[in-house]
């Protein structure tokens, strides 16, 4: 056969796993982001003593589909004097950046598009920061003062907290010694404990910084507060807005995945090195089966027949998935997929827990004012992150040079960092107290 066809075949043979993973990411993640929106609405309703979307589909499960259809058939309004190319391009950049950065994330030991790229975590960080361009260009293309101001504010916030996030990641990277994602997870397996226990301050800084990165409450002033500035998304309607919105939720998934990889042990099960806990490997199948049992248990208590049928369907689906998880244990040739399957389960569970914390914080805390937000980022978070990098470095030094055991060194330095944190917060509070009681108004922010 001619060389081109041969080349294509060779390409497909070597890279088919990555291709499939890539296609799955591009096709499935927007849908998943839509369902994350539904989960957030249901969770918000649950925390607010109400039910959430219930009409569209059983228990509102078809709500994202209905929203997508509505947004697709909406009139595409483009502001008159706006820059058409940039107006079209901005949401695309946002979404593409989020999806591409997912390419380097390992959702399990086998599911990764950019297999074992040398610079794993840095790739994710760098490409997801391309999303800022989408925000700036979107604000510009809307041809409205308030959009530009909102876009600039949003970008300023993102850039400040990106620094803090990067420094927090550096601490975790010091512990693992490499940028490769699979090597980071293996380092956690060898250490026997997740890095969140070894560098808790870094994990906390990353949590706060990632909330600000994704423009979530309590840092969502640029997009939620409708004082005068309605944000860079104002002039976008229909599916363009949906692209921005889905890009934001995809970003949440990316940020959750990075935190899971670095701090929560990636695809490892809890206590990955403890051998007598190996029965925990059965947990995925067990958990899903338990959900199925609970579902069927509640089926009898539903008021309406349709709901009963629905709960039975959910229960049976859970059992089917549990069977899929359990079957490879018994069928010998399928045993190779166990680590991949289980790993994906644990990874997704941890990312979901992280996103749950995001949502929980959104419904509980009020919003920071923009200058308070920048104060928090520059005066508290970045200094704390720098101190944390120093302390983790000193801990590593103690371990290699003086032979102190790793966890003891880290414990000591974590205490020092926490002390520094408390001092920082005290100093910051005293400063804002004196500044605001001295004058009638709080001091202005930089930028």
Partner 1 sequence: MLDSVLFYFFGGVAVVGAALMVTSRNAIHSAVFLITTLLATAGIFLQLGAEFLFIAQVILYVGGIMVLFIFVIMLVRLDVALHHIRFRMKSLVVMTVFGVLAAEAGAIIYYARALPGQGLFIQNMAPADKLAPNSEKLAESLFNSYLLPFEIASVLLLVAMVGAVVMAKSKNRTEES
Partner 2 sequence: MGPQHPSTHGVLRVKLKLDGERVRGTECVIGYLHRGVEKIAENRSYQQFAPYVDRMDYVAAVSNGLGYCEAVEKLLNVEAPPRARVIRTILAELQRIASHLVWLGTNALDIGALTPLFYCMREREEILKIFEKYCGARLTTHAFRIGGLQYESYDGFEQDVERFCLDFEHRIQDYVDLLTGNSIWIGRTRNVGMLKAADCIALGASGPILRAAGVKWDLRKAQPYAAYEQYKFEIPVGSNGDTYDRYMVRIEEMRQSRLICLQAIEKIPEGPIMGKVGKVIKPSAGEIYHSIEAPKGILGYYIVSDGGTQPYRVRVRPPSFVNLQALDKMVRGHLVADVVAIIGTLDIVLGEVDR
74 binds, among partner 2, partner 1, none (CB under 5 to 8 A by kind): none
411 binds, among partner 1, partner 2, none (CB under 5 to 8 A by kind): none
Q: Which residues of 410-425 are buried (b: 16+ CB within 10 A; e: fewer)?
A: beebbebbbebbeebe
Longest Cα–Cα distance of the chain, Å, equals 83
CB closer to partner 2 out of 47 and 277: 47
Whole-number Å distance between alpha carbons of 216 and 219: 5
**Which residue is it, tokens 């089966």?**
289
Whole-number Å distance between alpha carbons of 321 and 112: 22
Q: Which residues bind partner 1 (CB under 8 A)?
A: 3-4, 7, 11, 83, 85-86, 89, 117-119, 122-123, 125-127, 129-130, 132-133, 136-137, 140, 148, 152, 155, 159, 178-179, 443-444, 446
Smallest distance from the beta carbon of 357 to partner 1, in angstroms?
27
CB closer to partner 2 out of 194 and 232: 232
Whole-number Å distance between alpha carbons of 292 and 81: 55
Q: Which residues bind partner 2 (CB under 8 A)?
A: 44, 47-50, 217-218, 220-221, 224-228, 362-372, 432, 436-437, 439-442, 444
179 binds, among partner 2, partner 1, none (CB under 5 to 8 A by kind): partner 1
Ramachandran region, residue 77 (left: φ > 0; alpha: ψ -120 to 50; beta: rest): beta
Whole-number Å distance between alpha carbons of 404 and 396: 9
44 binds, among partner 1, partner 2, none (CB under 5 to 8 A by kind): partner 2
Burial class (CB in 10 A: 0-12, 13-18, 19+), 288: buried
CB closer to partner 1 out of 15 and 329: 15
Whole-number Å distance between alpha carbons of 311 and 317: 10
CA atoms within 13 A of residue 326's CA, in its CB half-sphere: 14
443 binds, among partner 1, partner 2, none (CB under 5 to 8 A by kind): partner 1
76 binds, among partner 1, partner 2, none (CB under 5 to 8 A by kind): none
CB closer to partner 2 out of 220 and 314: 220
**Which residue is it, tokens 């291709």?**
19
119 binds, among partner 2, partner 1, none (CB under 5 to 8 A by kind): partner 1
Smallest distance from the beta carbon of 306 to partner 2, in angstroms?
27
CB closer to partner 1 out of 36 and 137: 137
Smallest distance from the beta carbon of 65 to partner 2, in angstroms?
25
CB closer to partner 2 out of 303 and 366: 366
Q: What six digits make up the tokens of 440?
A: 């009638």
Q: Which residue in 155, 351, 328 sits closest to 252, CA to CA?
A: 351
CB closer to partner 2 out of 111 and 146: 146
């Amino acid at each position: 056969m001619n060389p081109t066809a041969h080349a294509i075949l060779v390409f497909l043979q070597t890279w088919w796993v990555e291709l499939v993973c890539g296609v799955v990411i591009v096709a499935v993640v927007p849908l998943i982001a839509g369902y994350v929106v539904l989960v957030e609405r249901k969770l918000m309703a649950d925390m607010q003593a109400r039910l959430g979307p219930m009409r569209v589909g059983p228990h509102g499960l078809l709500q994202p589909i209905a929203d997508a259809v509505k947004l697709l058939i909406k009139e595409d309004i483009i502001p008159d004097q706006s820059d058409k190319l940039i107006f079209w391009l901005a949401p695309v950049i946002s979404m593409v950046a989020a999806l591409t950065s997912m390419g380097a994330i390992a959702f399990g030991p086998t599911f990764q598009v950019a297999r074992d790229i040398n610079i794993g975590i840095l790739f994710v960080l760098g490409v997801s920061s391309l999303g800022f361009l989408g925000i700036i260009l979107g604000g510009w293309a809307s041809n409205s003062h308030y959009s530009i101001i909102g876009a600039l504010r949003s970008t300023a916030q993102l850039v400040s907290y990106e620094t803090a996030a990067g420094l927090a990641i550096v601490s975790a990277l010091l512990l693992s010694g490499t940028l490769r994602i699979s090597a980071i997870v293996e380092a956690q397996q060898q250490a026997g404990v997740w890095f969140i226990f070894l560098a808790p301050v870094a994990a906390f800084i990353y949590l706060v910084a990632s909330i600000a990165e994704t423009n979530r409450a309590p840092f969502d002033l640029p997009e939620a507060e409708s004082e005068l500035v309605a944000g860079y998304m104002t002039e976008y309607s229909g599916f363009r807005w949906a692209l921005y919105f889905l890009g934001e939720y995809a970003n949440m998934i990316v940020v959750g995945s990075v935190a899971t990889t670095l701090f929560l042990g990636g695809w490892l099960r809890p206590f990955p090195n403890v051998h007598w806990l190996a029965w925990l490997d059965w947990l995925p199948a067990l958990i899903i089966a338990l959900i199925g049992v609970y579902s069927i248990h509640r089926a009898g208590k539903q008021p309406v027949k349709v709901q009963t049928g629905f709960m039975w369907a959910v229960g049976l689906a859970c059992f089917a998935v549990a069977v899929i998880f359990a079957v490879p244990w018994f069928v010998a040739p399928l045993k190779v997929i166990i680590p991949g399957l289980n790993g994906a389960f644990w990874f997704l569970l941890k990312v979901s827990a992280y996103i749950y914390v995001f949502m929980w914080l959104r419904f509980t805390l009020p919003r920071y004012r923009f200058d308070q937000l920048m104060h928090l980022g520059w005066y508290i978070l970045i200094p704390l992150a720098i101190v944390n990098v120093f302390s983790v470095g000193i801990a590593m030094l103690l371990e290699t040079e003086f032979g102190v055991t790793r966890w003891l060194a880290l414990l000591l330095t974590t205490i020092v960092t926490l002390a520094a944190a408390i001092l920082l917060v005290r100093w910051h509070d005293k400063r804002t107290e004196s500044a605001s009681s001295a004058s009638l108004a709080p001091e202005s922010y930089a930028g």
